[in-house]
Amino acid sequence: MDDTAVYGAIEAGGTKWVCAVAGPGGRLLATDTIPTTTPAETLRAAIGFFRRHEPSAALGVGTFGPVDLRRDSPTYGHITKTPKPGWSHTDVVSPLRAALGVPVALDTDVNAAALGEWRHGGGAGLGTFAYMTVGTGIGVGAVVHGRLLHGLLHPEFGHIRVPRDPADPFPGSCPYHGDCLEGLASGAAMRRRWGRPPEGLDDARAWELEAGYLALAVVNLMYALSPQRVIVGGGIAKRPGLLARVRERVADLAAGYPAAPALDDYLVAPSLGDRAGVLGAVELAREAPGDADEHA
Ligand code: ZN
């Protein structure tokens, strides 16, 4: 590895972009947070940060999506169709590459967070694990047999269908599916269902419902991917007591089949806290094509 290399990283979220530069070993040298406004304005602000801090080797970007990750596609690096106003069909990669003159490695924001936890946090040493974020939206990034999982697109686990709680009349907030997991259990869904932001929501029914939906999601993840650990991050997941209640509901739902893992160690908060995404984006940069250091 080049000991003088400086890597750039962007955790490109729907409400803010966290920009960083990192030195050897992934140590952060500088960071800045930019509100996500229009594509042109947001990209301009990010480019401004990197003009001041000059990543010399590569830039890694973990972005909200859905995003085209197929390298042979004419729309590689574009956000595809998103409910986020103004961002559908935005090319994220080309403007950054053109302005900064370095290779740009791209993945989803949740895959980047999974990568960060895998290299530096709660996924270290595991071959197969999942990172679920529960914030404004819901997403899952997964490492399977030591590689980030890609395929047709990338996992869109937030949009799986879960059985609606019989006591829940809310029709769901997903613009595509209504009452998919994200439509029922994301921060946006909670805000719509209860009529106020989830941060200030102290109605026990709201959090019991949330724990139930998240437990269904975790059980589906366990059965589909057989992850060795499930890390749950994002703003909603920080609610005190929520994760503990999700563990209890998972144990009930799994009903001993298969033999439940020790859930305190299985279903955990991110070791890296809110830095998982940006540290993962640094790792994307370190593995960018053109970097001699081979991983994954
Ligand atoms: Zn959906």
**Per-residue pLDDT tens digits for 77-129:** 999 988 888 999 999 999 999 999 999 999 999 999 999 999 999 999 999 99
Instruction: Pull the structure tokens for residue 269.
Output: 């908060």
| Interval between CA 137 and ligand 1 midpoint (Å) | 10
| Interval between CA 111 and ligand 1 midpoint (Å) | 19
Model confidence at 292, pLDDT cuts 50, 70, 90, reads: very low
| Class of the CATH domain delimited by 122-269 | alpha beta
Strand, coil or helix: 4: coil
Model confidence at 161, pLDDT cuts 50, 70, 90, reads: very high
Res. 260: pLDDT tops 60: yes
Distance from C-alpha of 151 to C-alpha of 174, rounded to nearest angstrom: 23
User: What mean pLDDT do residues 231-243 have?
Assistant: 97
Residue 106 has a pLDDT of: 96
Neighbours of 149 (CB within 10 A): 17
Q: Please report which residue ranges of 103-257 form alpha helices under DSSP H.
A: 109-120, 181-185, 187-194, 204-225, 242-254
| Interval between CA 173 and ligand 1 midpoint (Å) | 8
Res. 14: pLDDT tops 90: no
Res. 44: pLDDT tops 60: yes
| Interval between CA 185 and ligand 1 midpoint (Å) | 11
| Interval between CA 52 and ligand 1 midpoint (Å) | 39
| Interval between CA 138 and ligand 1 midpoint (Å) | 9
| Interval between CA 115 and ligand 1 midpoint (Å) | 24
Distance from C-alpha of 233 to C-alpha of 70, rounded to nearest angstrom: 27
Residue 295 has a pLDDT of: 39
Give the least confident one: 140-149, 189-198, 281-290: 281-290
User: What mean pLDDT do residues 146-167 have?
Assistant: 93
Smallest CA-to-CA distance from 60 within 119, 13, 20, 89 is with 20
Smallest CA-to-CA distance from 64 within 96, 22, 36 is with 36
Smallest CA-to-CA distance from 130 within 138, 120, 118 is with 118
| Interval between CA 239 and ligand 1 midpoint (Å) | 23
Amino acid identity of residue 223, one-letter, is: Y
User: What mean pLDDT do residues 160-174 have?
Assistant: 97
Strand, coil or helix: 243: helix
User: What mean pLDDT do residues 235-264 have?
Assistant: 92
Average pLDDT, the chain: 93
User: What mean pLDDT do residues 153-166 have?
Assistant: 94
When the candidates are 1.10.10.10, 3.90.650.10, 3.40.190.10, 3.30.420.40, the CATH number that belongs to 7-111+275-286 is: 3.30.420.40
Residue 65 has a pLDDT of: 84
User: What mean pLDDT do residues 56-75 have?
Assistant: 92
| Interval between CA 50 and ligand 1 midpoint (Å) | 34
pLDDT (tens digit per residue) in 207-223: 999 999 999 999 999 99
Residue 2 has a pLDDT of: 61
Question: E strands, the chain, where?
Answer: 7-12, 16-22, 28-35, 58-63, 104-108, 129-134, 138-144, 147-148, 230-233, 267-268
Res. 237: pLDDT tops 60: yes
Res. 192: pLDDT tops 90: yes
Res. 26: pLDDT tops 50: yes
- Check for a shared fold between 7-111+275-286 and 122-269: yes
| Interval between CA 188 and ligand 1 midpoint (Å) | 12
Based on its alpha-carbon atoms, the radius of gyration of the chain, rounded to whole angstroms, reads: 19
CB 130 within 8 A of CB 116: no
| Interval between CA 157 and ligand 1 midpoint (Å) | 9
Please report, rounded to a whole number, the percentage of residues in the chain having pLDDT higher than 70.
96
Residue 290 has a pLDDT of: 57
| Interval between CA 140 and ligand 1 midpoint (Å) | 13
Domain ranges for the chain, please list them.
7-111+275-286, 122-269
Residue 151 has a pLDDT of: 87
